[in-house]
Structure formats: C-alpha cells, structure tokens
Amino acid sequence: MVRARSGRAAHPGRTARRGARALAGLAAAALTAAGVVAAGTADASEAATSATSAASRTGHSPTVARTAAVPKHAVTGYWQNFDNGATVQKLKDVNDAYDIIAVSFAEATGTPGAVGFHLDPAVGYGSADAFKADIKAKQAAGKSVIISVGGEKGAVSVSDDASAKNFADSVGKLMDEYGFDGVDIDLENGLNSTYMTKALKALHAEHNGVVVTMAPQTVDMQSPQNEYFKTALGIKDFLTAVNMQYYNSGSMNGCDGKVYAQGTVDFLTSLACVQLEGGLAPSQVGIGVPASSRAAGGGYVAPSVVNAALDCLTKGANCGSFKPSKTYPGLRGAMAWSTNWDAANGNAFAGQVGAHVHGLP
C-alpha cells in the first residue's frame, strides 16, 4: 500500500513497468453451516497445543489463542498507523463492516528478515496497552486484527533460510505481544517465493489458526509463475485471502488475454479471473480497491462498480463486456485502502460494499 502523506499517489514509473511486464493470462476452505470458515487448518485443541508449544520455546505465552474465524464473505480494511491527511482513527473507530482489520505497517529492523512495529503518536494512543485493549474489543466483536508487513515504502527482504526464520519469529512475537490474529503480506518491492513460503509455513506451524492475507500489485498476479502468485499457491492450505490492489496499475491482461483498463468493472472481474483460474480457491480471492478517489493515484471505482463486479463473479449478473465462463459463489469479498480514507469519505465503502459482501449467498 502506498503510504504517501497526501492520498495514495501512484509510485513513479509503476504504471509503465506494469504495462511492460504484464503477462498473458487452492484448495477451497471448509465452510460451516453458519457461513464461517476457519482461518487456518487447525481446530481449537490443535491451536491450544501450538500455543503451549510456542510458549515453551519463546518463554512467553501468546496473548490470544489462534482460533479466529473469518466469515465466508469478508470485508478487509487497512488501518493506518500514521496520519496522511485521511481521518485519524483508533481501532475502536473502525466501521463495524470490516471483518479483517490490517494494521499498517510492520517494518524492517536491523536484522535481515525481521520486522517490528511501533505505534505512531499521531494516531492518538496514550499507551500500547490502550491499543491492545482495542484489539481485544474488536476480536470480542468477531473481527480479526492482523499486522500488515511492508507497504509501498516497505523494504523487508526474506531471501534465505536465516531471514525466513527471522521473519517468522518476529511476526510471531508481534502476534503474541499485541494479540494479532495473523499477518498480511504487502511487499511491493520484490518477494522471493521460496523463502517467503518457508517463513509463512513456519509461522503457521507455531500458530495453526493464523489469518494470512496478501495484497499484491496487479502485475504480481498476472501468472502463476510470478513470485507472489507462487507464494499464494505455496500456502494454499492455510491462505485466507489474496486482496490484490486493483489500482495504481494501468491496463492489464485479463484471463481471456484481452487488455482491460483500470477503473472499470471489466478490470476487476477479468483480473480476478486470472487468480480464480490460476489455482486459488474462490474463498481466497478478494477485490482490493481505494476507499475514495483521494486514496490512490488511479483506479478508484464507485462502490456500485465493486458491487457489480462481485455480482458478476458470484452470480454472472451485472457484468461488463467481460463475463466469466462460470461463477464463483464462494468468492471471499472485498478490501479497502483504507478504513481511514473510507471514514473521510463518509464510510461509503463500508456502508455499500460491506453490506453487499455480507449479503452474498
């Protein structure tokens, strides 16, 4: 995610690079009768065993058990741990429509692969304990709160066994310290699928119920041979959702090989189709968009366009010129950058897209 101090301007040259690099075109999670899926593959007893094991190795007990559940159809929103002109929020202020709240961002430390997190005084918390209390309150309301790693300016490198271990260990410690339910991978400056997959599998081994989301750029998901796509497929047995950033992109290839311009329903549906036909389960695919026109340099679409794309993919209705050859009723949902920009825009995304996602069959 772009962390520009005013809006989300496109990264210089990114559109051109994406156009040049564009390539021509998971196992489904178990659903309960209540419409909720387990975030990972472990049941409560397995998660408890994992937590006890982790405590014996690290010397401290996890803050929460990793038994979080995510709705069958979920809305993800990024909460900004900084002030860039959007509405400044505390976690308790985040609209209730958001099922997964990604705290942005954990950043690189001096140890290769390791990440750390520090509250920005600009967001108004008097102490870390107050922040942790808000996390617990959101979890008590049935929400998942995860830590997002990277962002547009993030420089976390996981490129060998040592850095993979450092990444997994440091994210696990943040989960234990703050009570996060999992991690979001938002690395926009390169990713090594071999070692990121190792790191996430190691994290999952310690926290079986971990929520894992990803927010790749469009160019990163044009082919299953791309590093981000390979990582998603490599953790498909516990991956929660890929919420690709359908913005700051320029035109891209859809699954039919045709080129579609950002900011249209066809862009959303045809690029989602690449992931859906490339190996991800429908429950692992979400549509990521800016919450307002100020939140990105390009690619903003009105909530009605997002809802039309969701209808097209799940029901075959309200499509543009592109219509998928089949429907994907289990599609996970949608994502917004960010809850702060949504609040600045009157919570239009939460109110309209949130309600639509939660109303999907």
Q: What pLDDT, in 10s, does the model give residues 115-129?
A: 999 999 999 999 999
What is the percentage of the chain residues whose pLDDT exceeds 70?
80
Q: Give the burial class of 241: count Cβ atoms within 10 A of its Cβ; 0-12 exposed, 13-18 middle, 19 or more buried.
A: buried
Mean pLDDT throughout 123-148?
98
Quick one: pLDDT at residue 119? 98
318 vs 316: CA distance, rounded Å: 7
Residue 188 among the catalytic residues: yes
Regarding the domain with residue range 33-358, which homologous superfamily does it belong to in the CATH classification?
Glycosidases (3.20.20.80)
**pTM of the predicted model as reported, rounded to 2 decimal places:** 0.86
Cis peptide before 180 (omega within 30 of 0): no
The pairing of beta strand 259-260 with beta strand 36-38: unpaired
What tens digit of pLDDT does each residue of 40-55 get?
A: 433 333 333 334 444 4
- Over residues 312-345, the pLDDT tens digits come to 999 999 999 999 999 999 999 999 999 999 999 9
Percent of the chain with pLDDT over 90: 78
Which of 188, 206, 227, 277 is labelled catalytic?
A: 188
